Chains A and B, each alone.
Chain A
Amino acid sequence: MPKKVVSGNYAAAYAAKHARVEVVAAYPITPQTSIIEKIAEFIANGEVENLQYVPVESEHSAMAACIGASATGARAFTATSAQGLALMHEMLHWAAGARLPIVMVDVNRAMAPPWSVWDDQTDSLAQRDTGWMQFYAENNQEVYDGVLMAFKIAEHEKVNLPVMVVESAFILSHTYDVVDMPEQEEIDEFLPPRKPLYTLTDFENPFSVGALGTPADYYEFRYKIAEAMEEAKKVIKEVGREYGERFGRDYSQMIELYRTDDAEIVFMGMGSLMGTVKEAVDMLRSEGYKVGAAKVRWFRPFPKEELYELAKNVEGIAVLDRNFSFGQEGILFNEAKGALYNTDAKPIMKNYIVGLGGRDLTVNDIKAITKNMKEIIEKGKLDREIEWYHLKR
């Protein structure tokens, strides 16, 4: 199978090309620009057929155009970041409500003010209520695999919900790594052409989509979306397993567990920072600490069941959040804690806020956090629930 040395953004662009995307409507924003630049290059070089690129005038219009295209039965793709994602918030709700399987790559970037173009998870997590599924990629390979799987999962007849594939700004989007890309024929077998739930080109039986829902009906429509999200958990596992059988990288676990079997302390987090954590886990293990890493791949739908399986055998979980919900706590921490409340798994859980706005998280930081967690476990209670790690001033 061919391997390419590409950045995370280029991996996403290649994945969109290999998925035979039909409409791309996108608006430039750092650090997503190289995705759409690469796609435009494919078109200019004649490497793709039947791909319409619409250079829209804002992100809100980008999502609106993708919605129009997806409703017409086409495979639609877009990409954005921070401010752009916030701008298209209204249409994110619309895409999920209209049950359109759009795939979007969000390059995690910090929300302004102050202006920042660097890695931060708050932008995508702030959209967790919209009905979009969310997949967090740890490295460029996962970006590529994520986009391909996202189309298959989104377009599944029991799901029909949009998927966001999230990658880190600059750490993944602009750094180069080896990505294994399967042959086009193999991908075509894995991902056949889309069979839409409805299409606006059906003139024999014209549909009207998204009309007014009175209180008598609206409730049931929203339940249908919730139902689809639950179904999605099964579909994700199925597709992840199939991907592993075909291409050798298994994604059937919604939380990837790394050396957690006999771990006392587990580090839980999402995205590229987990790559650093895995390195640190290896070093700590060689020093005798019993640590492991749990990388949450899918944030929506939230993998409650897998979290429970992990949590019942562990003494302490350090949740690393590269995000914060003001007036509460780190978002992954909040969701994980809540998911375990009604179960009998009660590990000690502490929230470490790290790396907001792209501040580096190093292996030494993980070592320091390990020592802190060890003290807490020995004492049996938390020193504080939320720690803003290494606040300078």
Chain B
Amino acid sequence: MAESPFKADIERVQKEYSEKMTPGAIVYIPGSSVVNKTGSWRVFMPKFNKDKCVRCFLCYTLCPEPAIYLDEESYPVFDYDYCKGCGICANECPTKAIEMVRESK
């Protein structure tokens, strides 16, 4: 998945914003939300079965985070740092290649 030209640096976000109060509550590092690893919200997590995948890219298209990107062979890769476990990918996958399993922590 192509990354946007400005990539947020998590360390920079944490350091700079703790020292600088910007007038008007300006946020000048776009994408700084990546500091928040929403993967901790999960109850269920998507389990991917590569054999069944036909690379239709529906899961990549419909993920609201987005927490799915494509690898070099254009198979989906699930970013478990941010996946909230909503299950849309599993529900929409036409070949049922994704299964939501309860996460054991």
Contacts and interface: CB of A to CB of B under 8 A. Distances in A.
Say if A and B assemble together.
Answer: yes
Nearest to A205: B28
Contacts of A98: 24
Interface stretch (A31-39, A116-124, A216-224, A353-361): A216-224
A388 interface: no
B21 A220 contact: yes
B21 A197 contact: no
Interface string B3-25: 00010000000000000010111
Nearest to A210: B25
B25 A209 contact: yes
B26 interface: yes
B21 A99 contact: no
A142 to B, nearest CB: 30
Given A206-B30, A208-B30, A97 B24 contact: yes
B27 interface: yes
Contacts of A228: 23
A209 B21 contact: no
B24 A99 contact: yes
A221 B28 contact: no
Nearest to A221: B25
Interface in B9-56: 21, 23-28, 30
Contacts of B28: 205, 207
Contact of B27 (A99, A100, A160, A208): A208
Interface string A185-199: 000000000000110
A201 B31 CA distance: 18
B105 to A, nearest CB: 28
Contacts of B23: 99, 160, 197, 221, 224, 228
Contacts of A220: 21
A270 B24 CA distance: 31
Contacts of A210: 24-25
A228 B24 CA distance: 12
A215 interface: no
Contacts of A213: 25
A228 B23 CA distance: 10
Contacts of A100: 24
A391 interface: no
Give the interface centre of B6, B23, B24 by most chain A CB atoms within 10 Å. B24
A100 B24 CA distance: 9
A211 interface: yes
Contacts of B21: 217, 220-221, 224
Nearest to B31: A206
B41 to A, nearest CB: 19
Interface string A267-294: 0000000000000000000000000000
Contacts of A224: 21, 23
B30 A209 contact: no
B30 to A, nearest CB: 5
Given A221-B21, A224-B21, A198 B26 contact: yes
A207 B30 CA distance: 7
A207 B6 CA distance: 12
A209 B30 CA distance: 11
A379 to B, nearest CB: 52
Contacts of A209: 24-27
Nearest to A218: B25
A198 to B, nearest CB: 6
Nearest to B17: A217
A322 B30 CA distance: 49
A99 B22 CA distance: 11
B26 A207 contact: yes
A197 B25 CA distance: 12
Contacts of A211: 25, 27
B4 to A, nearest CB: 10
Interface string A94-108: 000111100000000
A214 to B, nearest CB: 11
Contacts of A197: 23-24
A217 B23 CA distance: 12
A368 B25 CA distance: 52
List of 7 A-B pairs having minimum Cβ-Cβ separation, nearest first: A208-B27, A99-B24, A220-B21, A99-B23, A98-B24, A206-B30, A207-B26
6 contacts: A100-B24, A198-B26, A207-B28, A208-B30, A210-B24, A224-B23
Given A100-B24, A210-B25, 14 more contacts: A97-B24, A99-B23, A198-B24, A206-B6, A206-B30, A207-B27, A209-B24, A209-B26, A211-B27, A213-B25, A217-B21, A217-B25, A221-B21, A221-B23
